[in-house]
Amino acid sequence: MHLIIAEKHIAAKRIAAILAPSKTKQVRVSGVDTYEYESDEGKQIFIGLSGHIVKLDFPKAYNNWQKVEANELIGAEIITTSTQVKIVSALKKLGKEATRVTIATDYDREGELIGAEALEIIQKVNPEVVFDRVHYSAITPKAIDDAFSNPTNVDFNLADAGHSRQVIDLVWGASLTRYISLAAGRLGKMFLSVGRVQSPTLALIVEREKEREAFIPKPYWELSALLKSKTGEEFKAEHRTKRFWDKAEVDAAMEKLSIGDEALVTELTTSEKIDKPPTPFNTTEFISAASSIGFTAANSMRIAETLYTNGFISYPRTDNTVYPESLDLRAQIEIFKTGAFKQYALKLLEKKELVPTKGKKETTDHPPIFPASIAKKSEMNEQEWKLYEMVVRRFFATFADSAKWETIKSKFDISGEEFKANGARLVEPGWRWYYHYNAPEDRLLPKMEEGDKHTLTKLDMEAKETQPPGRYGQGRLIRIMEEMGLGTKATRHEIISKLYSRAYVHGNPLQPTKTAIAVVDTLEKFAPTISKPDMTSKLEADMDRIAEGNIPEENVLNESREMLEVVFTELGKNKDDITESLRAGLREDKIIGTCSQCSSNLMVMRSKRGSRFIGCEGYPDCNFSLPLPRSGQIIVTDKSCEEHGLYHIRIITPGKRPWNLGCPECNFIEWQKAQEEEKKNQNTDKERPKTLNDISGIGKVTAEKLADAGICSVDELCEADALELAKVTSIPVKKIKTWQSDIV
């Protein structure tokens, strides 16, 4: 029996359907669906994994944070545990019977490790089994047929590189997270996450935020004129001094100008600008392009994975920006001669020679991302189609001609002051006809010649300020991570997602929380190795050397542990300072604003029972408080309420969209209004009770208790002081208040 192992269930199903001479048979093994058919070589069985089916961990003895010091994890034993019991059981059962095993997982570092993990499970029950490996970059009939016709060997060096990453990330992440969380007193779900790649990335975001906070805006003025041509067309011209830094200078220029002045064309230059077509998509460029049309990094990669496993695009995790010679590019375009992109494909196929653009990076594992097969819009949801269309259009654009623009630069003399106006017109769309995303618009000027005179119809002097550097969007951040050697094409978007889930950042562009700033400040001051990219980029390079077979995995693991020992030496020298620094910073992240009643800080607090609320630090002298939602991570933003002066709040819940609660006091007031309105609506349908016995919950015994306290009528109950009545009757205050509120 020949057992073929794919990375996911859907991949196994699709590959089986492609290779089977007729319909496959679905068979359930240990609760896992497999697909089989008979061939000349015997039975072929396909099984899909669920990514990693095992994980690395420490023995249970190390799980107690209070008893096991964080630095003990550096040299601790690492064990492998199963995460998918049914799949492991199915592999063992099928592996015993297999005479040949083919690993058909994704071809990259992670995929090789996933395949090696599955193979190791099988070899324990069938040590002599023959095994091989197939590589493919798209799940299409041609790609799969070619791959299975040319099997190769499992690359254990590549798998070791993936394994080393798991070990290093586990040891660094677990030990540092434990140390920092204990120092800050943040345990349970609120622990402070620290990671080998995560922390330097977070430091980049915090550093940019500090640049913004330190930025001192500088005032300047812009002067523009609205001009009217002889034909009545109006257009805008800017003063030659783009920014006036001195108010007196712009005022002096304004004094020279009057509505109705002539604007003499003193210079006119027309030229052609060549706009070269884009290079093929690699992972970073794809995420960046998807980000520009509204997709988060994690979402774009999740959708790309779906498109890949369904055979619509090639493998989305690639550094390559050069199409390989083995790819029949004309044939790939020809598949689109029908369908939604017909006109674009036919236009390209008119070319005698198809010469694609080339990027700077060329690798041999996978080609750039390209459309692997034609799809219909009805086969996908809206988001999938948007990204599929973008991949198709980018692919076409790489074969298209350059776009050409006609540019016009004009200068005008208005009462001795020089103004300028620039225009641009797309004369040959070229590649922009295929790939229309983020295209610049035409800036048209009326026809004119040197010596022409226009009329000044309006002057506009606008006061502005220089702006701080912008926060990083996800696409931009991933580019910087790539440049600095932080993470890999397969992990960068996951790192960003982790920063969101840990409540270190919010919004897009990414804004760090005060907790993030406190953690980064502490690390940079007392253990800078963790927050700088040098260490992690060095380890990334070493992992590449493992994959190339130039260095044993054990050497890199030992080196990483030695690095970590140095880090813990730094931490140990500054333990008390670290605790003080973290706790002071984390406290700031709980401040919502100033109490309107006593001017003390309003803070996020917890009651003795564990429920959250916003309370006043002036308690017990001041008991002002506001409620908070029971669940979700609370993010205090830098936006404040104009009416109450309180910071707006966001609630982050895994798997759900962030809830912008806004000002907690405004939110509470709105909630109270809604409750009152709901009560009014409920009460309009109720008939006012005539006697005490008509009220739900008041029987004969309770009525007697009330009568003994002097309450014999509904009106008397309504007017009674609930607290005093409770003392006399031993009836709970809450119950009395409920009766009173139910009386219309």
- C-alpha 454/C-alpha 231 separation (Å) is 10
- C-alpha 672/C-alpha 361 separation (Å) is 60
Question: Which residues, at least 6 apart from 608, have a Cβ–Cβ distance to it below 8 Å?
Answer: none
Q: Catalytic residue among 136, 179, 220, 315, which? A: 315
Nearest to 7 by CA among 53, 68, 65: 53
Nearest to 227 by CA among 218, 219, 236, 240: 236
Q: How far is CA 315 from the centre of its chain?
A: 20
Structure tokens at 70: 């964080």
Rounded (5°) CA angle 128-133-138: 155
Strands (E), 415-548: 417-428, 453-465, 505-506, 511-512
Whether 177 and 72 have beta carbons less than 8 Å apart is answered as no
- Strand pairing report for 100-104 and 2-6: parallel
- Strand pairing report for 659-662 and 647-652: antiparallel
Phi, psi of 244 (to 5 degrees): -90, 120
Whether 466 and 459 have beta carbons less than 8 Å apart is answered as no
The answer, yes or no, to whether the previous bond of 509 is cis (omega within 30 of 0) is yes
Burial classification of residue 410, based on how many CB atoms lie within 10 Å of its CB (0-12 exposed, 13-18 middle, 19 or more buried): buried
Nearest to 318 by CA among 376, 348, 361, 288: 361
Question: Which residues, at least 6 apart from 580, have a Cβ–Cβ distance to it below 8 Å?
Answer: none
Nearest to 201 by CA among 485, 403, 445, 432: 485
Whether 289 and 392 have beta carbons less than 8 Å apart is answered as no
Provide the residue count of the chain. 744
- To which residue do tokens 């970590």 refer? 564
- C-alpha 152/C-alpha 274 separation (Å) is 45
Instruction: Give helix then strand counts, H and E, for the chain.
Output: 24, 23
Judged by DSSP in three states, 565 sits in helix
Structure tokens at 618: 């002036």
Q: Is 435 a catalytic residue?
A: no
Sign of dihedral through CA atoms 44, 50, 51, 57? Answer: negative
Q: How far is CA 143 from the centre of its chain?
A: 31
- Strand pairing report for 625-627 and 612-616: antiparallel
Nearest to 6 by CA among 26, 31, 35: 35
Other beta carbons within 10 angstroms of residue 562's beta carbon come to 10
Q: How far is CA 493 from the centre of its chain?
A: 6
Judged by DSSP in three states, 663 sits in coil
Phi, psi of 625 (to 5 degrees): -155, 160
So which residues are the catalytic ones?
Answer: 315
